[in-house]
Structure 1
């Protein structure tokens, strides 16, 4: 971890939709099938997740370009994906298909997600240690050079500092439910 002090170059536009690579092999196969189908329908794939337990659930999170997704959109995506998933037979066991929006306290899985949520508070977990820690919490300040910029309290400094967290080290990230986030959601 280091404190950002110099101006750095912006992330290329075509790299902004790359997702955090924490998908299982099964989820990667499903993503490679589902993503082009969803994009052809005018949506963006946010995340694919297999949730095990008594009943397996294939969770498909998607959104429109503006970050919204109505129930009718979920139904439309589900009607297209369901028969294709049955034909491709990528999942061995029985499962239930669940299509949803990312929600108000959404997971942040793409660089563009961090750029759209500048000024909001997030919790970020890393796959490996950075400055003797794996957990970070702070205000999203933007992205630069394949890093997420987070403004947070750091021991030894009087004021919050902006740090750079390498995108490739992030294992999970999500918005934290705050009054600001709720107010923003109510205004949209």
Structure 2
């Protein structure tokens, strides 16, 4: 079964569980590492998730996956927080991140850069505006949303 299909099926099985546990889905990853398959479900909530949240979701999701059995091969299920460098995937993720320090990678260079790290100053469904430092000077770039390959919160050093 294609990885994309597995992720779609798992997402549909996961959403009602997350809603009942009052947490949100950040991302689902299904990939092979070494000789083993891993199904990773990243969850979050305002104030962050704790081990009890992850355990509760893991137990319920594991039972549901055993019932439906959508994955034909053996795999390891991991439910965890997305961490400090949470990915930004959905418009709501970007909207929540306005004013925060982010890292954005692009498909193609823009203004001489293939990635930007700085404050997400603004976001709408067409573009993300990032304020970043280059040689001590604060600059601003408007990045078309369809040019973004990946985005995440970042830790500023």
Q: TM-score range by the shorter chain?
A: 0.7 to 0.9
Q: Report the 3-state secondary structure (helix = DSSP H, G, I; strand = E; otherwise coil) of the residue aligned with 1:125.
A: strand
- Counterpart contact for 2:91–2:125, Cα < 8 Å: no
The 5 A counterparts of 1:1-188 are 24-53=4-33, 54-64=35-45, 66-126=46-106, 128-129=107-108, 131=110, 134-153=114-133, 159-179=137-157
Note the aligned Cα RMSD (angstroms).
2.5
CA change 1:39–1:171 in 2 (3 A) is farther
- Counterpart contact for 1:114–1:143, Cα < 8 Å: yes
**Cα offsets for 1:8-39 (capped at 9, x unmatched):** xxxxxxxxxxxxxxx83321222132123312
Counterpart CA distance in 2 for 1:95 and 1:43 is 24
Return the TM-score normalized by structure 2.
Answer: 0.80
Structure number with higher strand proportion? 2
Counterpart CA distance in 2 for 1:144 and 1:102 is 23
**Cα offsets for 1:91-147 (capped at 9, x unmatched):** 221111111111112222222323333333322123x32536542222211312442
Highest RCO, 1 vs 2 (Cα 8 Å, sep ≥ 6): 1
Counterpart CA distance in 1 for 2:70 and 2:147 is 28
Counterpart CA distance in 2 for 1:67 and 1:167 is 27
Q: How many residues align?
A: 153
TM-superposed CA distance for 1:48, in Å, is: 0.3
Counterpart CA distance in 1 for 2:96 and 2:137 is 25
Runs of 5+ consecutive residues of structure 1 not aligned to the other structure: 1-22, 180-188
Runs of 5+ consecutive residues of structure 2 not aligned to the other structure: none
Counterpart CA distance in 2 for 1:97 and 1:136 is 33
TM-superposed CA distance for 1:148, in Å, is: 2.0
Counterpart CA distance in 1 for 2:65 and 2:145 is 30
TM-superposed CA distance for 1:62, in Å, is: 0.8
Q: Report the 3-state secondary structure (helix = DSSP H, G, I; strand = E; otherwise coil) of the residue aligned with 1:113.
A: helix
- Counterpart contact for 1:39–1:45, Cα < 8 Å: no
